[in-house]
Amino acid sequence: MVIFPAIDIKNGKCVRLLQGRAEDETIYGNDPVTMAISWTKQKCEYLHVVDLDGAFDGKSPNEDIIKKMASIVSVPIQLGGGIRSMDKIQRMLEEYGIQRVILGTAAIEDTELLKRAVDKYGHRIVVGIDASKGKAAIKGWVQKTDISAVDLGRKVKDMGVNTVIYTDIAKDGMLSGPNKQETKEMIDQTGLNIIASGGITILEDLRQMKEIGATGAIVGKALYTGAIRLSDALSIA
């Protein structure tokens, strides 16, 4: 299981949100690049970066930061947030040096884009499925849908996707533990590689995610508050 330290960028700063709400943010640093360097020095294998401005607005003032980060750090980066065109996918993967991009809203609203991206870039395209009570949400989680998260997982698998980041919105940033039942359901019913996200609070949460077969776990607020030390998380993984 791979541990992904999370770096969420909003207005050029490193932040964490509660349940994805833009108004409920805590700033953990003014320089996301420095934060990325810190995690790599602590031996992380992969970074999970989210451009929150892109996720909410579809446009981003943070691309220079992301480009600089990818050029400096020595570990691969998976990037999500506002990636809704082939031009941007190509720019991130081919020009900026991002290893994988995450399509969320586009996986629901523009399946043709997802198909084209997967046809061209294969497993470098990851889908983010963000769920509220088992239903997928889009556009920075502000818009709920009637699409079952599991059904969406099966659909993107049929299109050639093999990795999904599954986030329970109610758990994100709350330090209340992950939704083990729904994460396990995604793993068992889709056969996808599932990266668990949202609510990882203590080391036991990581043990449970590994036990149910998650291929990765994204850890955000618990790392920033010191509730989990990255070295301990890596030893479990």
CATH classification at residue 222: 3.20.20.70
Q: For the chain, how many structural domains are there in total?
A: 1
141 Ramachandran zone, left/alpha/beta (phi>0; psi -120 to 50)? left
Averaged confidence pLDDT in the chain: 88
User: Catalytic residues, which ones?
Assistant: 8, 130
Q: How confident is the model at residue 108, as a pLDDT?
A: 79
* Mean predicted confidence (pLDDT) in 192-221: 95
* Mean predicted confidence (pLDDT) in 12-34: 69
Q: Are strands 125-132 and 100-103 parallel, antiparallel or unpaired?
A: parallel
DSSP codes, 86-145 = HHHHHIIIIII--SEEEESHHHHH-HHHHHHHHHHHGGGEEEEEEEETTEEEETTTTEEE
Q: Are 61 and 19 in contact (CB under 8 A)?
A: no
Which region among 47-51, 159-163, 178-182 has the lowest average model confidence (pLDDT)?
178-182
The Cα–Cα gap between 209 and 184 comes to 8
Reported pTM: 0.89
Beta bridge partners of 126: 102
Q: How confident is the model at residue 141, as a pLDDT?
A: 46
Residue 23 DSSP SS3: strand
Q: What is the pLDDT of residues 49-81, one digit of tens each?
A: 999 887 776 667 899 999 999 999 999 999 998
What's the domain range around 225? 2-236
